[in-house]
Amino acid sequence: MHGSFHRLVRIYIAILAAITVLVTVGAAFLQLRAVNTTLQQKQSLVLNRVSDTVNRYQEMASDMAGQITATSGNVTNLETFFREPLADYANFAIDQSRQTGQYYFVPTEANTALLRNPSISALRIQLQNGEKVYAATQANKGGQVHRGKYTISGFTLTEALNNPQTLANVGMLALTFSQTPLKRDLDQINTNGHIQAVVVSGTDRLLFHFSDGQVGRTEARVVTKQAAAGQLASLLKSGQYQLHQQSLDSGLTVYTLMDQAAHRQQEVRLVLPILAVGGILLLLLILALLFTFRNYQAQLADMVTRMHKIGGGRLTMQLNDHGPNEDLNILADGVNDMLAEINQYVYEIYQLKISQQEANMKALQSQINPHFMYNTLEYIRMAAVAAGQRELAQVVFSFGSLLRNNTDQQATTTVGQEVTFVEKYIFLYQIRYPDQLAYQIQIDDAVRDVVIPKFTIQPLVENYFVHGVNFAEMNNAIEIRAHRVGRNVAIAIINNGKDLSDEELARVNQKVVQPIVTQPESIGLQNVYARLVQFFGESVSLTVQHNAYHGITTMVTFELPERQGDADDSSRASGR
């Protein structure tokens, strides 16, 4: 017992460990998948947000360049702005407005553009092969012209200035955008996944860089340095970063980078608490199991010891039924009651032997009595025949057949045999009431050999004589019909006796199909239906209904089992 109990405890511990490990691993897996899915979504969101902003800024530069060179007059105006002193250019702009009806003054246009677009920190215009650069900032919206080439840097997007008539390039527009609004939008995403975003021009120039709060300065500096040096591709090939990228129509490329090593460390930090909780929970469950089974084992060991002594013949010993485990106490009570009954049985064994002898005598008597009654009835029938009382002889014969059928222990019969038995039952009533009762039986040959449970049709006929017949009248009639349609058998018991109301019929039909919950007092409709369902299955139907004779028709239908139906079909085929 000791080894079996410990083996059972080990099995329980193994099951607990397996379940706890599966739950813990499943929880960790689901948590990691959820975090990774969220992180992928945030990385895609950062990529889309940066791409949308860059595209919007590029469209802004394109629209502004289109406005600057909308007409050839605007191009001439721009060239005059760079060529003449500001006072002369102002006079030129006034004269041009008188001719075209539109006043175009470059510093005014720049001022308006900076006011409308606070995200633009600087606006620069430089003509093709020119030595002057016009620059306007948010601090100096009117701007001024400087000598020398303009070096593009920062978050600067350029757009060519083309003559609308000749399509020749006349200069370049450069808009430098503040990185603060975009970085503020990206900070609101709260990625916290070691994600960086980089915008690179077609000439590998670094335009924009963003890193979330998880990225250290050193790591961010490495990415910006590599991107500024045009070596971002080699950094990406190292496999250190998980990369998403999107190429824009303007020739710019947006990258989002996530540090793989840092992401794995973050996953470890996420999983460790779950594994720790799972381990602690498993330890607590094992300790609780061992503590619970310790008391159980002690009480069970005491019970086994006492059972061995009882098995050795000490039947007066009792098991301890006051232990800490209620189920073992119940078991001990049961064993103690069993021991008390055993002692009582031992005491009464002599009386039981005498009673057994008497029972054997009664059993022998029960076998002799029916045989004796059959012989007596047969003697009476023969005496009636000898005396010329053939009707009396037929009555005795029918009654003897009924008695023999009732005492027969067989559970099944055939439709033909059952109808023969029922006909003798009706015949005895007709002998008593010769002028008040008529009956008719129509049984197709196709159903005579169908096997059915015994006492299937007789209770349905008996219902008529118990509840429906009225021997005070002269027109009592009952008819039994049985025929077969395909694999189905239909049996109808039709009478012109006492009718029932619709409510009574509904109540009877409802009760017929209900399960039998108590031992029935007689073999009624409910019992017949239950035995037919057990024999033929759910195809059975038993209903009580009105008929054209102002009486009751009891209809029974069922589908034959495949084996019985095939046997009947083959027998009819051979008969043909």
Grouping H, G, I as helix, E, B as strand and the rest as coil, residue 535 is helix
Please write the tens of the pLDDT for every residue from 396-415: 565 556 555 555 557 789 99
Do residues 174 and 158 make contact, with C-beta atoms less than 8 angstroms apart? yes
Please write the tens of the pLDDT for every residue from 101-156: 888 899 999 999 999 999 999 999 988 887 889 999 999 988 888 887 767 778 89
What is the per-residue burial (b if ≥16 Cβ within 10 Å, else e) of 316-332? eeebebebebeebbebb
Q: What is the average pLDDT across 224-246? A: 79
d(CA 294, CA 284): 15
Grouping H, G, I as helix, E, B as strand and the rest as coil, residue 387 is coil
> Where do we find the tokens 């701007």?
143
Q: What is the average pLDDT across 479-485? A: 93
Please write the tens of the pLDDT for every residue from 350-366: 444 444 444 444 444 44
d(CA 519, CA 516): 7
d(CA 271, CA 313): 62
For residue 573, name the pLDDT band (cuts at 50, 70, 90). very low
Q: What is the average pLDDT across 463-474? A: 84
User: DSSP secondary-structure letter at 550?
Assistant: S
- CA angle 146/149/150 to nearest 5° reads 80
d(CA 545, CA 528): 17
Do residues 246 and 53 make contact, with C-beta atoms less than 8 angstroms apart? no
13's enclosing H/E stretch is helix 2-68
Q: What pLDDT is attached to residue 514?
A: 84
What is the per-residue burial (b if ≥16 Cβ within 10 Å, else e) of 284-295? ebbeeeeeebee
**Among candidates 30, 32, 44, 42, which has minimal Cα distance to 192?**
42
Residue 458 has a CB neighbour count (10 Å cut-off) of 20
Terminal Cα-to-Cα distance of the chain (whole angstroms): 72
Highest mean pLDDT among 8-22, 114-128, 254-268: 114-128
**Among candidates 462, 574, 478, which has minimal Cα distance to 522?**
462
For residue 5, name the pLDDT band (cuts at 50, 70, 90). low
Burial of residue 355 (CB within 10 Å: 0-12, 13-18, 19+) is exposed
Q: In this structure, which amino acid lies at residue 372?
A: F
83 has a pLDDT exceeding 70: yes
Q: What pLDDT is attached to residue 366?
A: 46
376 has a pLDDT exceeding 50: yes
d(CA 520, CA 456): 15
Q: Which domains does the chain have, with CATH numbers?
A: 1-69+105-298 (no CATH), 410-575 (3.30.565.10)
Q: In this structure, which amino acid lies at residue 450?
A: V
Do residues 125 and 161 make contact, with C-beta atoms less than 8 angstroms apart? yes
Do residues 461 and 479 make contact, with C-beta atoms less than 8 angstroms apart? no
Q: What pLDDT is attached to residue 380?
A: 57
Which residues are CB-neighbours of 545 under 8 A, at least 6 positions away? 505, 552, 553, 555
257's enclosing H/E stretch is strand 253-259
d(CA 65, CA 85): 23
d(CA 235, CA 553): 95
Q: What pLDDT is attached to residue 41?
A: 85
Which strands make up the sheet holding 253-259, listed edge to edge?
206-211, 195-200, 253-259, 241-247
* Secondary structure (DSSP) of 430-481: HHHSTTTEEEEEEE-HHHHT-EEESSSSHHHHHHIIIII--TTSS-EEEEEE
Highest mean pLDDT among 2-16, 234-248, 324-338, 492-506: 492-506
Please write the tens of the pLDDT for every residue from 519-530: 544 457 888 898
d(CA 93, CA 565): 112
CA separation (Å) from 244 to 40, 48, 226, 239, 458? 10, 10, 17, 13, 87
For residue 56, name the pLDDT band (cuts at 50, 70, 90). very high
**Among candidates 544, 529, 540, which has minimal Cα distance to 495?**
544
Which residues are CB-neighbours of 364 under 8 A, at least 6 positions away? none
Length of the chain: 576
d(CA 360, CA 152): 121
**Among candidates 94, 240, 65, which has minimal Cα distance to 161?**
65
Average pLDDT of every residue of the chain? 80
Burial of residue 81 (CB within 10 Å: 0-12, 13-18, 19+) is buried
User: DSSP secondary-structure letter at 547?
Assistant: -
129: left (phi over 0), alpha (psi -120 to 50) or beta: left
Which residues are CB-neighbours of 241 under 8 A, at least 6 positions away? 235, 257, 258, 259, 260
d(CA 529, CA 555): 11
Indicate whether this model's pTM tops 0.75: no
